[in-house]
Amino acid sequence: MPNMQKEKTPMPEQAPDVRNKNWGEVAEGYTAEQAMNEAARCLRCKNSPCVTGCPVGVRIPDFLALAAQGDFEGAYAVIRTTNSLPAVCGRVCPQENQCEGKCVRGIKGEPVGIGRLERFCADFVMKKKKENRNATPAATSDADGGREKAKRGRVAVIGSGPAGLACAGDLAGRGYAVTVFEALHKAGGVLVYGIPEFRLPKAIVADEIESLKAMGVEVLCDMVIGRVISVDELFQKGYDAIFIATGAGLPRFMGIEGENANGVYSANEFLTRINLMKAYREDYGTPIKKGASVAVVGGGNVAMDAARCAKRLGAKEVHILYRRSEVEMPARREEVHHAKEEGVVFEFLTNPTKILTDDKGNVTAVTVVSMALGEPDASGRRRPEVVPGSERELSVDTVIMAVGTSPNPLIRMTTPGLDTDRHGCIVTSDGVTTTREGVYAGGDAVTGAATVILAMGAGREAAEKIDAYLSAKH
Amino acid sequence: MVTILKKEKLADTVTRIVVDAPMIAAKAQAGQFVILRPTEEAERIPLTVADYDREAGTVTLIYQIVGTTTAKLDALACGDAILNMAGPLGRASEFEGMHNVAVIGGGLGTAIAYPQAKALHELGAKVDVIAGFRNKNLIILQKEMEAVADRFFLMTDDGSAGEKGLVTDALRREIEAGAGYDAVIAIGPPVMMKFVSLLTKTYGIRTVVSMNPIMIDGTGMCGGCRLTVGGTVKFACVDGPDFDGHQVDFDELIRRNAMYRKEEEASFAAYREASHEAHACRLQTMGEETT
């Protein structure tokens, strides 16, 4: 019999006014008992609506059934058959729009905490693996495996974010020799430079990457493809197929007056200084402006991350300025909830028009206008329009622009024959196949900025297409 | 990891290193740069490729010790490894239509101007080099510059070597004397590039400047290096580092470069104190061992 408890089993969390002063993970995760209790809430619906909501098709009822019995390793194995980064997805997927959004239990209560359980199973197994590794060191060696794999073909993956890692994991599993090229000094892409420690501990990302390496995947950092080697040169070096997963890393600005003032950051810069470059730690040399009063412009997950980081750096006041209303906000619901709890102030229907500075070019205030929602626009959301005469000033010393990103132009500029659209997104015929033979692409580089799980879905899709392409060729 | 093969002091606080980086050496061109991080806790900093040897697979970098990260870099010796280095980054310099050029280097900017002067010289252009330094102790690359320059003018602020005066004094004089430059390349402190550009604008001479703003990733990801050129925002790392000097908003650049001055000074002071203490400790230990 399923557990008919209406609400999700609560997950222990750090208290809001404690955690907004530290960088430790907000949600502390279930205990084994809590996990079994929550997994038992699954009704095992015959048509599994939850699975249809998952971009990588995790067999949710199957893994929940095993978890309910306390077989977390078995549950993890089920997840891993379709998802190569469960510890990450359990933490950052927008489950409310995906699996949990389709859960039947959500009709008369709260859906099953699928994300929390995915996270628990992954953490459980990772912890166990670590204990074993410590007990029997030097057990993993894949040098021979790597040579064996080269027989099926060599694949270069450009970018080590979610799309690249998912593709690399799937291809390695199918017996290919895979090299992942990362431009920054640490692998993980947005999981490392973008998503903060308190939401996704970097040790977890490192563990996931270690798991891939143990499968024989080679990861090379400090490699800016397009500069140090071009896509064409990768083919010359003996790669049989290439997957471009370079993301959407080019920050957009609003084009308003004062945007180049000292104290105005792109969210990418602000988050990179904190997450990749550890500006919050005393032992790191990375400087950052610790604003006392901060305005974050935007309503997505990146805006939430920036606002919550600003709070943790010691800001007294953090305002989110979003030009539409709360319902249109694209951020994951849990992040909005957490941000509010931590004292972030939301100014909906508010848009900045100008950034004011002192004579040294430092930010002193931002001029904003109120907005009202008109008719729906191309995105289906109601178009925000300026309310006449609503101009006011908000006194701040830091402004963070989280108004979206575009694909990086480096690959497109250096790869002849690779078509892109007017937004700079790589053109594909089926979501992953580009206009160049043997070259595939996926994730934000194709779709523009989206989610971790959609990028991973594209990575898996590309792995399948690459496998079919190379199998036919050889 | 990139190993330092050679290390040489060029002047007070200015060092030249040759590093083993065959992939970067194979691709580097004048005007491009690398981003490096000497140790785990250090910042990522951009340094222009001062020279390269494709056959030997080496890249030459020149840096001035101005803060914690460059001090940490300088703490590495021959045979030590720089933790991370990515490159070559940025667009290569374009020399099309340049036949009679004044290349101007100011201070450490001379290290960035040198590969440009060398490239132009190899392309057969007539090259005048004007190099300016605060005083004779800071002079770098004089011999190298003389080897690629048709005429070399050395300027110092205090007159301790070469002529006393600013690079713009020499430039104005040569233009007035009928040098007939079709282009000026100016690389140095932003304020120097600003005044060179103001001067050449009055003569209508095409002027290229090389930007060295605050930068993190060097791939267009953060926008920290943004500057205004001809009224539009550009990223120095992917759109530059070379720009039309007559279009650059230098005042904004100067303001943005000062963004972390306070933090940088505090960090450098703490670093020097810590390394001073470590040094004192070592001396003390050595003293104890000998007695």
Mean pLDDT of B232-242: 93
Arithmetic mean of pLDDT, B102-108: 96
Asked, for residue A7, whether it belongs to a domain, the answer is no
* A358 interfaces chain B, CB cutoff of 8 Å: no
Q: Residues 6 or more apart from A140 whose CB is under 8 A from it?
A: A133, A214
pLDDT tens-digit readout, A221-247: 999 999 999 999 999 999 999 999 999
What percent of chain A has a predicted confidence (pLDDT) above 90?
83
Judging contacts by C-beta atoms under 8 Å, the chain A residues touching residue B218 are 224
Q: For residue B47, give the nearest of B28, B26, B23 by alpha carbon.
A: B28
Chain B residues near residue A409 by CB distance under 8 angstroms: 220, 238
Q: How many A-B residue pairs are in contact by the CB < 8 A criterion? A: 109
Residues B237, B90: contact at Cβ < 8 Å?
A: yes
Q: Does domain B100-257 have CATH number 2.40.10.10?
A: no
Say yes or no: A189 and A284 in one domain: no
Are A258 and A372 found together in one domain? yes
A259 and A317: one domain?
A: yes
Q: What is the CA radius of gyration of chain B?
A: 20
Question: Is A4 within the bounds of a domain?
Answer: no
| Tokens at A186, concatenated | 């640490």
CB atoms within 10 A of CB B191: 13
**Cα gap B256→B238, rounded to integer Å:** 18
Pairwise CB contact (< 8 Å): B216 & A284: no
Query: Which residue of B41, B86, B227 is in closest CB contact with A183?
Result: B86
Q: Which pLDDT belongs to residue A141?
A: 46
Q: Same domain, yes or no, for A434 and A445?
A: yes
| Residue A109, Cβ density class (10 Å: 0-12 exposed, 13-18 middle, ≥19 buried) | middle
Q: Which of A256, A232, A250 is nearest to A368 (CA)?
A: A256
pLDDT of residue A144: 47
B286 has pLDDT over 70: no
Q: For residue B289, what pLDDT is reported?
A: 46
Residue A232, SS3 per DSSP: helix
For residue B285, the model assigns a pLDDT of: 55
The residue behind tokens 């500069």 is A227
Q: How confident is the model at residue B283 (pLDDT cuts 50, 70, 90)?
A: low
Q: Does B160 touch chain A (CB under 8 A)?
A: no
> What integer is the mean pLDDT of A319-347?
94
Q: Can you give the pTM of this predicted structure?
A: 0.91
Partner A contacted by B259 (CB < 8 A): yes
Residues A301 and A324: their CA atoms lie apart, in Å, by: 15
Q: Does B66 touch chain A (CB under 8 A)?
A: no
| Lowest pLDDT segment from B19-28, B88-97, B262-271 | B262-271
Nearest of B129, B247, B271 to residue B188 by alpha carbon: B129
Is B156's pLDDT higher than 90?
yes
Contact A31, A49 (CB under 8 A): no
Q: What is the pLDDT of residue A130?
A: 83
Nearest to A398 by CA among A426, A362, A443: A362
Distance in angstroms (rounded) separating the CA atoms of residues B71 and B30: 26
Q: Quickly state the pLDDT bin for A378 (edges 50, 70, 90).
A: confident
User: What DSSP letter does each residue of B96-121 carry, written as one string?
Assistant: TT-SEEEEEEETTHHHHHHHHHHHHH
Asked if A240 and A375 sit in the same domain, the reply is: no
To test the contact with chain A by mutation, choose from B29, B44, B221, B227 the residue with the greatest count of A C-beta atoms within 10 A, namely B221
| Phi-psi sector, B173: left (phi>0), alpha (psi -120 to 50), beta | alpha
pLDDT digits (tens, 9 = 90+) for A148-188: 556 689 999 999 999 999 999 999 999 999 999 999 999 99
Higher pLDDT, B212 or B135: B135
Percent of chain B with pLDDT over 70: 96
Cβ contact A272–B87 (<8 Å): no
The single-letter code of the amino acid at B79 is: G
Which CATH number is A89's domain given?
A: 1.10.1060.10
CB contact under 8 A, B219 and A268: no
Amino acid (one-letter) located at A146: G
Please state, as a whole number, how many other Cβ atoms lie within 10 Å of the Cβ of residue A252: 18
Tell whether A190 is within 8 A of chain B (Cβ). Answer: no
In a domain, A61, yes or no: yes
Q: What is the pLDDT of residue B284?
A: 58
Q: How confident is the model at residue B261 (pLDDT cuts 50, 70, 90)?
A: confident
- Is the four-CA dihedral B276, B279, B283, B285 of positive or negative sign? positive
Rounded Cα distance, B256 and A360, in Å: 10
* Gap between the Cα atoms of B215 and B28, Å rounded: 19
Phi, psi of B195, rounded to the nearest 5 degrees: -75, -30
Dist CA B232 CA A259 (whole Å): 12
275-334 of A, contacting B, C-beta below 8 A: 277-278, 283-289
Give the gap in angstroms from C-alpha B23 to the nearest C-alpha of chain A. 6
Tell me the C-alpha distance between A388 and A371, whole Å: 9
Of A222, A287, A408, the CB nearest to B85: A222
Tens-place pLDDT, residues B21-68: 999 999 999 999 999 999 999 999 999 999 999 999 999 999 999 989
Both A315 and A443 in a single domain?
no
Assign residue A334 the CATH number of its domain: 3.50.50.60
> pLDDT per residue over B166-190, tens digit each?
999 999 999 999 999 999 999 999 9
In a domain, A355, yes or no: yes
Which pLDDT band holds residue B282 (cuts at 50, 70, 90)?
low
Kindly give the interhelix angle for A60-68 and A72-80, rounded to the nearest 10 degrees: 170
Give the mean pLDDT of A32-39. 97
Identify whether residues A130 and A22 lie together within a single domain. Answer: yes
Residues A399 and A411 in one domain: no
Chain A residues inside the 8 Å CB shell of B260 = 287, 289
Q: Do residue A259 and residue B233 have CB atoms under 8 angstroms apart?
A: yes
Return d(Cα A294, Cα A311) in angstroms, integer: 9
Determine the CATH number of domain B2-89: 2.40.30.10
pLDDT tens, position by position, A112-147: 999 999 999 999 999 998 888 777 654 444 444 444
Count of domains for chain A: 3
**pLDDT exceeds cutoff 90 at A400:** yes
The residue that leads in pLDDT, B162 or B276, is B162
**A220 interfaces chain B, CB cutoff of 8 Å:** no
ipTM of this complex prediction, to 2 decimal places? 0.90
The two counts, helices (H) then strands (E), for chain B are 9, 16
Distance between CA atoms of residues A265 and A323, nearest Å? 19
| Domain final position from A403, A428, A456 | A403
Sign of torsion over alpha carbons A292, A297, A299, A300 = negative
Residue that terminates a domain, selected from A403, A421, A452: A403
Delimit the domains of chain B by residue range.
2-89, 100-257, 261-291
Q: Are residues A427 and A346 part of one domain?
A: no
Cis peptide before B88 (omega within 30 of 0): yes
**A8: in domain:** no
Q: Distance between CA atoms of B112 and A350, rounded to whole angstroms?
A: 46
Reduced DSSP (H G I as helix, E B as strand, rest coil) percent helix, strand, coil of chain B, to 5:
35, 30, 35
Residues of chain B with C-beta less than 8 angstroms from the C-beta of A364: none
Pairing of strands A363-376, A392-395: antiparallel
Instruction: Determine the average pLDDT of the residues in A414-443.
Output: 95
Q: At what angle do helices A72-80 and A32-39 cross, to 10 degrees?
A: 60
Q: Are residues A267 and A392 in the same domain?
A: yes
Q: In chain A, which residues have their Cβ closer than 8 Å to the Cβ of B72?
A: 285
Q: Tell me, what amino acid is at A52?
A: T
Q: Alpha-carbon torsion A71, A72, A73, A79, what sign?
A: positive
Q: Which residue from B199, B191, B106 is spatially nearest to B153, judged by alpha carbons?
A: B106
Calculate mean pLDDT across residues B72-86.
96
Q: Which of residues 72-91 of B touch A (CB under 8 A)?
A: 72, 83-89
pLDDT of B219 higher than 60: yes
Instruction: With CA atoms as reference, report the closest residue to A33 among A120, A114, A105.
Output: A120
Name the band, by pLDDT with cuts 50, 70 and 90, for residue B12.
Answer: confident
- Same domain, yes or no: A258 and A169: no
pLDDT mean over A396-417: 94
| Residue in A315, A271, A272, A268 with CA at minimum distance from that of residue A295 | A315
Range of the domain at A167: 143-248+406-473
CA nearest A287 in B: which residue? B263
Closest Cα in chain A to B21: A228
* Average pLDDT of every residue of chain A: 93
A87 is a domain residue: yes
pLDDT of residue B281: 59
Residues A154 and A86 in one domain: no
